[in-house]
Amino acid sequence: MKKYQIALIPGDGIGKEVIPECAEVLKALEKRYTKISFDFQEFDWGGDYYRKHGVMMPNDGLNDLKNKDAILFGSAGDPEIADHITLWGLRLKICQGFDQYANVRPTRILPGIQTPLRKCEPHQLDWVIVRENSEGEYSGVGGRAHQGLPIEVATDMSILTRVGVERVQRFAFKLAQSRPRKHLTVITKSNAQRHGMVMWDEIAVQIAKEFPDVTWDKELVDAATARMINRPESIDTVVATNLHGDILTDLAAALAGSLGIAPTGNIDPERRYPSMFEPIHGSAFDIMGKGLANPIGTFWSAVMMLEHLGEQDAAKKLMGAIETVTSNSALHTRDLGGIAMMKDVTKAVIQEIQK
Ligand code: ATP
C-alpha cells in the first residue's frame, strides 16, 4: 500500500469550496484503489491568515510542506488585499521556494463542452502549454524610486538565465516527445526584445538537437494568439516564458470552454521538492459561498497530481469520470451555461468512480 502525504491549501474565495470537494473525490478513489491512500494535511493560509498575522503564510511554512508528496492548491486573491501581496506571499512563495520551474497546462475541449471557436472540432484542440515558472518577466527584480514625485521611476527586469532556459526547454521537448504528435512550438518575441529572447531562440536550436525525433517551430507571441484561434490543430506542445505563458494559457482556457475547467501543475521535474497542482481560475469572490463554483478544474488538477505520482490507473479513472460528467449538460455549472451546483458535479464524479 502506498500512502501519499498531500498538503491541501484551499487559500481564498472558491478555493475554500473546491479543495474539500477534491479531497472527497480522492477519498472515493482511495476506496476503489486499495493500493493507494491519501493522508491530507490542510493549511489555513491565505487572505484570512493575512488579516490575523500580517503574512499570507508563515515565514517558515515551506518546512511544513517540503516532505509532502504533492500539494493541492485552491486559489489566492482577496478583494481587501493587494494582488501583488496575495500572489507573492503564497503561491509564488511556494513555486519559487520549491523551484517548481515548469508550469504545465493541458488544454482540451472535454466532451459536452462548447468552444467559442466556430470552426474547431473538439479533437483539433489538444495542447499542453509549458510556461517557465521561475524567472523571466516575473523574476521580481526591479524597483521604484522617488515615489509620488513627477520624477518617479519604476522598473521590472526580465531575467533569463542559460540554466533556467535550458531546463524548461529541455522539459518541454521531452514532454513533446512523449506525446503522439511529437511537435513543439517555441514562443518568442526576439524581433522586439533583442537580448534575452534572442538567447532563448539560440538555446531552442541547441536543445532541439537532443531530440531529433521531435519536430519544432518558432512563433512570435502575438502571432501565436492568432494561430491558436485560426489554426488550433497546428499546435501540440508549447513552451513560453513566464509572461507569454501566463497570457497564452488564459486564452487557451477560454478557448477550451471555461476558466472553471482548466488545470495546471507547478512541477519540479527533478523531484527535489513537492510539486503543486491547482485549478487555473482565481478566487472568484462574486460566486463564493453560493455553491456555484465549477470543481472540474480542481479535479483535473488532481488527475495531473496522480499522473505525477505515477498512479496512472487512478488518474485515468478520474479523468474518465470527469469526461462522463462533462458530457452530460444537466451537470454543467453556471459558467458552462448550466444550472447544476458544485455538489451535483462532485456527487456525479464520485458515482462514476464507484462504477
Ligand atoms: P483572482 O483575483 O483571485 O485572480 P478573479 O475573481 O479576479 O480571481 P477568476 O476567478 O480568475 O477571477 O475568474 C473570473 C470570473 O470567472 C469569476 O469572477 C467567476 O465569475 C468565473 N469563474 C472563475 N472560476 C470559476 C469556477 N470554478 N466556477 C464558476 N465560475 C468561475
Same domain, 280 and 226: no
Same domain, 138 and 232: yes
In a domain, 109, yes or no: no
Same domain, 13 and 127: no
- What value does the mean pLDDT take over residues 216-242? 97
Q: At which of 233, 256, 279 does a domain end?
A: 256
pLDDT at 312 over 90: yes
Please report, for residues 168, 184, 197, 291, the alpha-carbon distance to residue 280 in angstroms, rounded to integers and kept in the order given.
20, 22, 26, 18
Residue nearest to atom 14 of ligand 1 (CA): 284
Percentage of the chain lying above the pLDDT 90 cut = 94
Is 232 near ligand 1, meaning CB less than 6 Å away? no
Is 305 near ligand 1, meaning CB less than 6 Å away? no
Same domain, 129 and 252: yes
Is 158 near ligand 1, meaning CB less than 6 Å away? no
Same domain, 233 and 293: no
15 falls in which pLDDT band (50, 70, 90)? very high
Q: What is the spatial distance between Cα 213 and Cα 222, in angstroms, rounded to a whole number? A: 28
Q: What is the spatial distance between Cα 107 and Cα 349, in angstroms, rounded to a whole number? A: 20
Asked if residue 49 lies in contact with residue 83, where contact means CB atoms within 8 angstroms, the answer is no
In a domain, 19, yes or no: yes
Domain range for 44 is 1-101+270-355
Same domain, 167 and 54: no
pTM for the model? 0.94
Q: What stretches of the chain adopt beta strand conformation (E)?
A: 2-11, 36-42, 70-75, 102-108, 126-132, 136-145, 153-159, 183-188, 215-220, 237-240, 263-267, 275-279
User: What are 103-136's pLDDT values in tens digits?
Assistant: 999 999 999 999 999 888 888 899 999 999 999 9
In a domain, 339, yes or no: yes
CATH number of the domain to which 344 belongs: 3.40.718.10
- What value does the mean pLDDT take over residues 189-211? 97
Helix axis angle, 312-326 to 15-32, nearest 10° = 120
Same domain, 276 and 217: no
* Residues across the chain: 355
In a domain, 147, yes or no: no
* Residue 301 in grid coordinates: 488538477
In a domain, 197, yes or no: yes
Nearest to 5 by CA among 71, 86, 100: 71
Q: Ligand 1: distance of its center to the CA of 123 in Å?
A: 26
Asked if residue 285 lies in contact with residue 79, where contact means CB atoms within 8 angstroms, the answer is yes
Same domain, 315 and 244: no
Same domain, 347 and 217: no
Q: Ligand 1: distance of its center to the CA of 280 in Å?
A: 9
Q: What is the DSSP string of 295-323?
A: -HHHHHHHHHHHHHTT-HHHHHHHHHHHH
Task: Compute CA 289 distance to the chain's CA centroid, rounded to the nearest angstrom.
Answer: 23
In a domain, 148, yes or no: no
Q: At which of 256, 280, 308 does a domain end?
A: 256
Percentage of the chain lying above the pLDDT 70 cut = 100
Same domain, 11 and 38: yes
Residue nearest to atom 15 of ligand 1 (CA): 284
Is 77 near ligand 1, meaning CB less than 6 Å away? yes
Is 293 near ligand 1, meaning CB less than 6 Å away? yes
Same domain, 30 and 161: no
Q: Ligand 1: distance of its center to the CA of 208 in Å?
A: 37
Q: What is the DSSP string of 2-16?
A: EEEEEEEEEESTTHH
Q: How many domains does the chain have?
A: 2
In ligand 1, which atom is closest to the CA atom of 293? 28
* Residue 260 in grid coordinates: 472553471
Mutate to test the pocket of ligand 1, among 75, 259, 339, 346 (most ligand atoms within 8 A of CB): 259
In ligand 1, which atom is closest to the CA atom of 261? 27
Q: At which of 189, 222, 256 does a domain end?
A: 256
- What value does the mean pLDDT take over residues 8-26? 98
pLDDT at 232 over 90: yes
In sequence order, the 6+-apart residues with CB closer than 8 A to the CB of 272 are 98, 99
Query: What is the predicted pLDDT for the residue at 122?
Result: 85
Same domain, 250 and 126: yes
In ligand 1, which atom is closest to the CA atom of 279? 27
In a domain, 71, yes or no: yes
Is 243 near ligand 1, meaning CB less than 6 Å away? no
User: What are 318-330's pLDDT values in tens digits?
Assistant: 999 999 999 999 9
In a domain, 126, yes or no: yes
Q: Ligand 1: distance of its center to the CA of 77 in Å?
A: 10
Q: Ligand 1: distance of its center to the CA of 282 in Å?
A: 5
